[in-house]
């Protein structure tokens, strides 16, 4: 099941089963705050990077093995999922397999394309991001493909709202000194009124990012911005998920597969795997000694991430 991860605790989706629609790290952006890795291929080319048949087979296998409740199947992962030209077929296929709702986590960059908007219509929830509305902030935080323009992306989001009957949860991720200025916040306020999402979710840098200068906003500033953007805006809280056993796979391998996507704390790993933190500590200590993972401190919290040598072996 190369293209499936989790179920993992998610602050936005509860307990979600993740589906990678593109290989690591193929994306339209190279965001400074990305928690996965620097973009290796920044592209706008849509093609079937991973065959729909392969993904649907992996989803079926994962659902047979998983234990406990799954709140969502999330098409997201290690790059921009809408780059996979079979995303519509994949969404339809998942919905034929299971009644678990399907969410798509996208950076919104391809929503100006009619074929992309049409492909997403059968998903239950679309979770687009919009971190900036001015060209300077857009370039500063998202580092997009040179052909992308923020005005077209906003137009695409507005068009999708008119066409789509499901839930749209808009995420805005703020980095200190990059996209948190007054002009940007006022622009976001106007744009939110244009897009009319069902929810607006404010986020900041909570895990180690690819760029050391991607700093989190302090809580009081986040609250100021939340108030400025309107009553319907929420600050995403840390997830307090329940413990579940998630599969019969070897636990060490499961730890590696989870942190291969993004750095995790021991507490996050314990929640995802249904283990206590003492058991997790024993496992991560062993994997660290073997050179498969490594630890680092970020915002005074301990995170584990994949070692580069191990990541290269698994690529």
Give the pLDDT confidence score for residue 152 in this predicted structure. 98
How many degrees, rounded to 5, is the angle at CA 145 between CA 188 and CA 259? 85
Please state, in angstroms and rounded to a whole number, the distance separating the CA atoms of residues 136 and 138. 5
**SS3 sequence of 136-202:** HHHHHHHCCCCCCCHHHHHHHHHHHHHHCCCEEEEEEEECCCCCCCHHHHHHHHHHHHHHCCCEEEE
Please state, in angstroms and rounded to a whole number, the distance separating the CA atoms of residues 92 and 245. 28
Dihedral of the CA atoms 223, 229, 231, 237 (nearest 10)? -40
Out of 76-80, 162-166, 268-272, which region has the weakest mean confidence (pLDDT)?
Answer: 268-272
Q: What domains sit in the chain, N to C, each tagged with a CATH number?
A: 4-235 (3.20.20.70), 251-314 (1.10.10.10)
pLDDT digits (tens, 9 = 90+) for 146-194: 999 999 999 999 999 999 999 999 999 999 999 999 999 999 999 999 9
pLDDT digits (tens, 9 = 90+) for 117-157: 999 999 999 999 999 999 999 999 999 999 999 999 999 99
Give the pLDDT confidence score for residue 246 in this predicted structure. 38
């Amino acid at each position: 099941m190369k293209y499936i991860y989790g179920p993992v605790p998610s602050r936005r989706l509860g307990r979600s089963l993740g589906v990678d629609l593109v290989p690591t790290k193929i994306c339209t952006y190279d965001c400074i705050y990305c928690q996965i890795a620097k973009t290796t291929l920044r592209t706008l080319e849509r093609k079937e990077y991973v065959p729909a048949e392969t993904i649907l087979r992996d989803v079926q296998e994962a659902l047979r093995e998983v234990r406990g409740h799954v709140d969502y199947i999330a098409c997201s992962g290690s790059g921009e999922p809408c780059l996979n030209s079979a995303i519509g077929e994949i969404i339809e296929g998942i919905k034929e397999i299971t009644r678990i709702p399907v969410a798509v986590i996208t950076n919104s960059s391809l929503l100006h394309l009619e074929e992309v908007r049409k492909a997403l219509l059968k998903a239950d929830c679309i979770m687009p991001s919009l971190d900036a509305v001015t060209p300077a902030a857009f370039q500063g935080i998202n580092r997009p493909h040179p052909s992308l323009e923020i005005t077209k992306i906003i137009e695409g989001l507005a068009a999708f709202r008119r066409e789509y009957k499901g839930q749209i949860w808009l995420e805005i991720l703020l980095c200190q000194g990059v996209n948190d200025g007054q002009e940007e916040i006022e622009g976001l306020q106007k744009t939110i009124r244009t897009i009319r999402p069902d929810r607006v979710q404010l986020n900041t840098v909570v895990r180690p990012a690819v760029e050391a200068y991607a700093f989190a906003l302090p809580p009081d500033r986040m609250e100021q911005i939340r108030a400025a953007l309107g009553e319907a805006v929420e600050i995403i809280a840390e997830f307090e998920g329940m413990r579940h056993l998630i599969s019969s796979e070897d636990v060490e391998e499961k730890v590696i597969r989870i942190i291969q996507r993004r750095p995790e704390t021991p507490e996050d790993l314990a929640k995802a795997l249904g283990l206590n933190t003492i058991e997790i500590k024993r496992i991560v200590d062993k994997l660290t000694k073997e050179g498969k993972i490594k630890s680092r401190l970020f915002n005074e919290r301990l995170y584990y991430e994949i070692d580069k040598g191990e990541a290269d072996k698994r690529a």
